[in-house]
Amino acid sequence: MPRARNRLTTRPRRTTRSSPLSHTNVTEGRATIYPAAGLECHNVSLIQEFKALTPPILRGEPNFLEAKNWMKEIKKILDVMAVPEEMRVSLAFFMLRDEADNWWDMIKTTQDVTKMVWMQFKELLLSNYFPEAVRRQKRAEFIHLVLRNMIVTEYAAKFTQLSRYAPNVVIDEKIRAEQFQEGLRLNIRSQVAPFMLHTYSEVVARAFVIEKEIEEAQRLRSRNSRFGDSEKREQDFKRQKVTHP
């Protein structure tokens, strides 16, 4: 009786699909599946990259400009790294220390910070360091700022400092220049106005030159006045000698 041939039963070959977070390495026709790199690993890598760029630390002193500058520097780094919007706040709060860190802990007890976007974080932080009442006070101080007893360079420095508190007032370069010009003393403003300048830097430069010209004219008048008084005293002395030899 002839022997029956061995028959091979063909079964469907199993295929292993890797998850979107897995890494597959193909070696000699065989696929090796490595464990998935979870989001936690991705976050750790992102944090390391973020810290490598030496972001500044915010400790929480009551200083609005310091807090605002901190936000500005942090945003620069996040922009360079092209960090997605949903991860920006998570990276930023790693740089909070001391009172700033305590403030963030308090915020976390009252709000869902896991879904907080950058603009919300910025508004919360700046509101903490710069309450609305103080904002109104600084805005009013800027609007009514005038040169008075300051020199032009001091006035320009004060103008720049206070203008940060009133971004809605100086909405463009032309208005910024007009606001600065209006605060100049009349003897300077009356000489700047005819030039019809439209940029802040031009108005500052022209005001500085005119101020120096006024100071020089005053020095010349003072010197001439002293010279005239001396000459008059000498003439009076000569007349006295003639009258009373």
The model's pLDDT over 146-204, given as tens digits with 9 standing for 90+, comes to 988 899 999 999 999 899 888 888 889 999 999 999 999 999 999 999 999 999 999 99
Q: Is 172 helix (H, G, I), strand (E, B) or coil?
A: coil
Higher-confidence residue: 243 or 195? 195
111 in a structural domain: yes
Residue 244, in any domain of the structure = no
Highest mean pLDDT: which range of 25-29, 43-47, 71-75, 128-132: 71-75
124 plus 53 within the same structural domain: yes
Same-domain check for residues 69 and 140: no
Strand partners, 58: 96
| 45-88: pLDDT as tens digits | 888 999 999 999 999 887 888 898 999 999 999 999 999 998 99
Domain that holds residue 164: 135-225
* Separation of alpha carbons 186 and 5, rounded Å: 116
Q: Which amino acid is at 210?
A: I
